[in-house]
């Protein structure tokens, strides 16, 4: 079996998605990219995260061919592949249907700098990508464009996608951005939230880089 360590990590973080309430049921997906092999590992389609075993993880190449695995890969595999083809700073992706991020995505809203932790996404906001049907190359392209210079993007009427250098970090960004989405939603119910300035967010980003 190829890449047992990476498979073990994906299985563990699949369970974390449910435990942290970032997603429910079988929705969402996780992948890890191995640039030296030009292959990615991704969760299977429509399978309960609590039941996924290492052997259920699918290994694919960047052309969409299955290298190893007898399960159907996530329907969003093209959305993962486009980032691995075009960005060398992303080696893992987490896609979830978390409640607050998806709520904002469903009104096609960005997440502005309502809290300094928005900077975990790499800038002073989290953009919302244009809507496209799930599992399509159009959605993959829309997500890629909206996540330019960022590590998180809302998918209109769909959910949240985050990426980073490794899976633990991509998962952490998803948690932080869901928190920021909730804060933005709750403050909007009270009135007009105070948004941090671009200068302050640049200061925060600078501090993050030193940590």
| pLDDT beyond 90 at 209 | no
| Average pLDDT, rounded, for the chain | 97
CA gap 176, 101 in Å, rounded: 11
Give the number of C-alpha atoms closer than 13 A to the C-alpha of residue 65, restricted to the C-beta side.
4
Give the DSSP H or E segment for 25: none
Per-residue model confidence (pLDDT) at position 45: 94
| pLDDT beyond 80 at 152 | yes
CATH number of 4-210: 3.40.225.10, 1.10.357.10, 3.40.50.2300, 3.40.50.300? 3.40.225.10
Among 173, 160, 66, which Cα is nearest to 104's? 160
Who's near 130: CB < 8 A, 6+ residues apart?
142, 146, 156
| pLDDT beyond 80 at 129 | yes
Q: What is the mean pLDDT of residues 187-193?
A: 96
pLDDT band at 55 (very low <50, low <70, confident <90, very high): very high
pTM of the model: 0.96
Q: What is the mean pLDDT of residues 19-39?
A: 95
Of 76, 178, 199, 211, catalytic: 76
| pLDDT beyond 90 at 210 | no
| pLDDT beyond 80 at 207 | yes
Per-residue model confidence (pLDDT) at position 50: 92
| pLDDT beyond 80 at 211 | no
Q: What is the mean pLDDT of residues 72-92?
A: 97
76 noted as active-site residue: yes
Per-residue model confidence (pLDDT) at position 24: 87
């Amino acid at each position: 079996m190829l890449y047992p360590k990476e498979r073990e990590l994906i299985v563990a973080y699949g369970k974390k998605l449910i435990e942290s309430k970032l997603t429910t049921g079988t929705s969402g997906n996780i992948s890890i990219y191995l640039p030296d092999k030009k292959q990615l590992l991704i969760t299977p389609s429509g399978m309960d995260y609590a039941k996924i075993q290492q052997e259920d993880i699918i290994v694919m190449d960047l052309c969409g061919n299955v290298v190893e695995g007898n399960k159907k890969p996530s329907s969003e595999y093209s959305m993962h592949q486009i980032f691995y083809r075009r960005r060398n700073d992303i080696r893992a992706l987490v896609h979830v249907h978390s409640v607050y991020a998806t709520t904002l995505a469903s009104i096609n809203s960005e997440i502005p700098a309502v809290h300094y932790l928005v900077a975990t996404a790499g800038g002073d906001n989290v953009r919302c990508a244009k809507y496209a049907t799930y599992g399509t190359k159009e959605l993959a392209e829309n997500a890629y464009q909206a996540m330019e210079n960022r590590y998180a993007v809302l998918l209109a009427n769909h959910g949240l996608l985050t990426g980073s250098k490794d899976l633990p970090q991509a998962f952490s960004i998803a948690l932080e951005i869901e928190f920021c989405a909730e804060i933005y939603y709750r403050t909007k119910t009270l009135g007009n939230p105070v948004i941090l300035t671009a200068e302050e967010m640049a200061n925060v980003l600078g501090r993050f880089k030193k940590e």
